Amino acid sequence: MTVNQYLTTLQHQIEQKYQGQTEFIQATAEFLPTIAPYLAEHPEIIEHDLLSLLIIPERLIQFRVPWQDDEGKWHANHGYRVQYNSTLGPYKGGIRFHPSVNESIMKFLAFEQIFKNALTSLPIGGGKGGSDFDPKGKSDAEIMRFCQSFMTELQKYIGPDTDVPAGDIGVGHREIGYLFGQYKRLNSFQAGVLTGKPVDFWGSLARKEATGYGLVYFVKHLLADQEEVLENKRVVVSGSGNVAIYAIEKAQALGALVLTCSDSSGYIYDEKGIDLETVKKIKEEQRGRISAYLEVHPEATYVANESVWSLSAPYEIALPCATQNEITQHLAQDMIKAGVKIVAEGANMPSDLEAIQAYQQNNVIYCPGKAANAGGVAVSALEMAQNSQRLAWSFSEVDQKLNEIMLNIYETCQQTACEYAEKNNLVAGANIAGFAKVAQGMLSQGLV
Ligand code: GLU
């Protein structure tokens, strides 16, 4: 069997076996073809059928999360934790609270996380968790009761050396605080059981900023390779959550003009550059809608019910920081028409397969999330290290390490791309470099 036959057969089996798990199938369809040149050089991987093993999570936990609203009415949500791969360390990955969460989304996120975590070169395996609970419109007390109920079940499966969750969409400092408190009540104070903790109780400085800053560091290193800088570049950002906010902050600090941000209801276009203080106030303090930006900046434009990626104003750099599959082929064509040169993903899998193809056919440099947004989980691993040492590093120490890690990820992806595919094929570079570490580890551990 040739390498391509092996990979096509495997993808076909995945599609048959996991019918309906569209996001998971999409993640494997993006991944498998790109690692072909590595498999051609490593016949032992096909001999041992390692990939059939790898695509099955080591453990997939599902549970019921009952909770009571402020009126005393009971509700139940689905809770998940996918412990996908522990070759390189304890399972590591965030928890997402969003109504779209299901087994397929949990598995695609955890699958991506395996290779992302490997790329950081830090000792962490891959996992992900979450619930279809919708935090939107819930009171603080409801959020607390939900988090307590979620952790009452989850605590059976996690620990500082086994599985270390963190935040993701819908889970920030507030939720991590409630989850941490409940873990502590049921067990004991274990600083390293969660990351993304508030700085007051063993959180790391610069963790909040890490995904967004890391994303911009990645782009900075890519640009430096082309003897270019971020200064005066026009940047379009989607989202207005934690990743988007700190990507905007760092891009602006490096002199870029950031034109947009968005939420699920629409987007803001501000040709003078997004006023980040206003966005922070709306999103971090008021938990409001991005349309409120106009109350402070009536001269900006708000476009309701449309994707920011349909924007026709010219720009060079796109930073999708909202959610999966926000960019379809049609929107990718709009981006290309607007002149985009680099797409760097702050979100996980924001570009669908056809969008990626469109970038590649039009010489747009595509930086996949598993490389470009790895700064968040990398600083989570640094938080674990600080917790073990019972020390807290300074902001600049963590930030400097983050920058070095992103440089290392960029160089690894680029070198691997040059070796196995072609320069700037960073998706092949990221997939092969991440996979190689995990696969070699699995082989030396006896394929477990
Ligand atoms: N949820 C983030 C991600 O997608 C961070 C995970 C973590 O810090 O463990 O990588």
Segment 71-98, tens digit of pLDDT: 999 999 999 999 999 999 999 999 999 9
Q: Are residues 308 and 247 in the same domain?
A: yes
CATH number for position 291 = 3.40.50.720
CB-ligand 1 contact for 61 (6 Å cutoff): no
312 in a labelled binding site: no
- The residues with which 257 forms a beta bridge, in sequence order, are 234
- pLDDT mean across residues, the chain: 98
Structural domain boundaries enclosing 4: 1-56+423-447
How far is the C-alpha of 204 from the C-alpha of 206, rounded, in Å? 6
Q: What is the pLDDT of residue 447?
A: 85
Query: How far away, in angstroms, is 211 Cα from ligand 1 center?
Result: 8
Say what percent of the chain tops pLDDT 90: 99
195 lines ligand 1 (CB under 6 A): yes
In a domain, 198, yes or no: no
d(CA 244, CA 347): 9
Q: Report the separation in Å between the CA atom of 100 and the middle of ligand 1, taken as the mean of its atom positions.
A: 18
Nearest residue to 435 (alpha-carbon basis) of 98, 112, 106: 112
The CB density around residue 71, as the number of other CB atoms within 10 Å, is 6
Q: Report the range of poorest mean pLDDT among 284-288, 351-355, 367-371, 386-390.
A: 284-288
First-to-final CA distance of the chain: 24
Cβ-contact 124, 90 below 8 angstroms: yes
- Residues 52, 67, single domain; the answer is no
Cα gap 214→233, rounded to integer Å? 18
pLDDT digits (tens, 9 = 90+) for 302-329: 999 999 999 999 999 999 999 999 999 9
Residues 181, 221 within the same domain: no
**85 Cα–ligand 1 center, Å:** 15
Q: How far is CA 383 from CA 208, 330, 405, in A?
A: 11, 40, 14
Rg, Å, the chain Cα set: 21
Can you read off the two tokens belonging to residue 276? 């980040």
Kindly give the number of the ligand 1 atom that is closest to the alpha carbon of 379.
8
pLDDT in tens, 94-135: 999 999 999 999 999 999 999 999 999 999 999 999 999 999
Looking at the structure, do residues 246 and 111 belong to the same domain, yes or no?
no
Collapsed DSSP state (helix, strand, coil) of residue 141 = helix
Per residue in 155-206, pLDDT (tens digit) is 999 999 999 999 999 999 999 999 999 999 999 999 999 999 999 999 999 9
Question: Was 116 annotated as part of a binding site?
Answer: yes
- Mean pLDDT computed over 416-441: 98
User: Which atom of ligand 1 has the smallest separation from the CA of 93?
Assistant: 9
CATH number at residue 127: 3.40.50.10860
Give residue 93 CA to ligand 1 midpoint distance, Å.
5
The answer on 230 and 119 residing in a single domain is no
Average pLDDT over residues 10-33: 98
What's the gap in Å between 9 CA and the centre of ligand 1?
31
Which letter does DSSP use for residue 351 in this model?
Answer: B
Q: Which of 119, 211, 409 to mutate to test the pocket of ligand 1 (most atoms within 8 A of CB)?
A: 211
191, 221, 253: which is the final residue of a domain? Answer: 191
Q: Is the pLDDT confidence value at 369 over 80?
A: yes
3-class DSSP state of 291: helix
Residue 10: partners with Cβ closer than 8 Å, 6 or more residues away? 32, 51, 52, 55
Quote the Cα angle for 80-81-82, to 5°. 120
Residue 443 sits in a domain of what CATH number? Answer: 1.10.285.10
Q: In what order do the strands lie in the sheet with 257-258?
A: 257-258, 234-238, 317-320, 342-344, 365-367
- Is 125 close to ligand 1, i.e. is its CB under 6 Å away? no
Q: Is residue 416 part of a domain?
A: no
Q: Does residue 406 sit within a domain?
A: no
pLDDT tens-digit map of 48-72: 999 999 999 999 999 999 999 999 9
**pLDDT surpasses 90 at 19:** yes
Q: State how far the Cα of 258 lies from the Cα of 316, in Å rounded to an integer.
A: 11
Given 367, 402, 432, the domain boundary residue is 367
pLDDT at 227: 97
Distance CA 370, CA 323 (A): 13
Q: Are residues 181 and 214 in the same domain?
A: no
Choose one of 380, 405, 409 to mutate for the ligand 1 pocket test, by most ligand atoms within 8 angstroms of C-beta.
380
* CA–CA dist 84, 113 (Å, integer): 9
Residue 263 bridge partners (DSSP): 266
Q: Please tell me the predicted confidence (pLDDT) of residue 1.
A: 84
User: Has residue 255 got a pLDDT over 90?
Assistant: yes
Q: Do 217 and 362 reside in the same domain of the chain?
A: yes
Candidate list 128, 208, 233, 370, residue with the active-site label: 128
Residues 275 and 342 in one domain: yes
168, 195, 243, 382, best to mutate for ligand 1 pocket (most atoms within 8 Å of CB): 168
Using a cut of 0.95, tell me whether the model's pTM lies above it.
yes
Q: Is 128 a catalytic residue?
A: yes
Distance between CA atoms of 224 and 322, rounded to whole angstroms?
A: 26
Q: What's the 53 CA to ligand 1 centre distance in angstroms? A: 24
Nearest CA to ligand 1 atom 8: 377
Q: Where are the alpha helices (DSSP H) in 120-172?
A: 140-154
Say what percent of the chain tops pLDDT 70.
Answer: 100
In 3D space, the residue among 80, 77, 34, 84 whose CA is nearest the CA of residue 442 turns out to be 84
The answer on whether 113 is annotated among ligand-binding residues is: yes
Claim to verify: residue 245 and residue 345 sit in the same structural domain: yes
CB 377 less than 6 A from any atom of ligand 1: yes
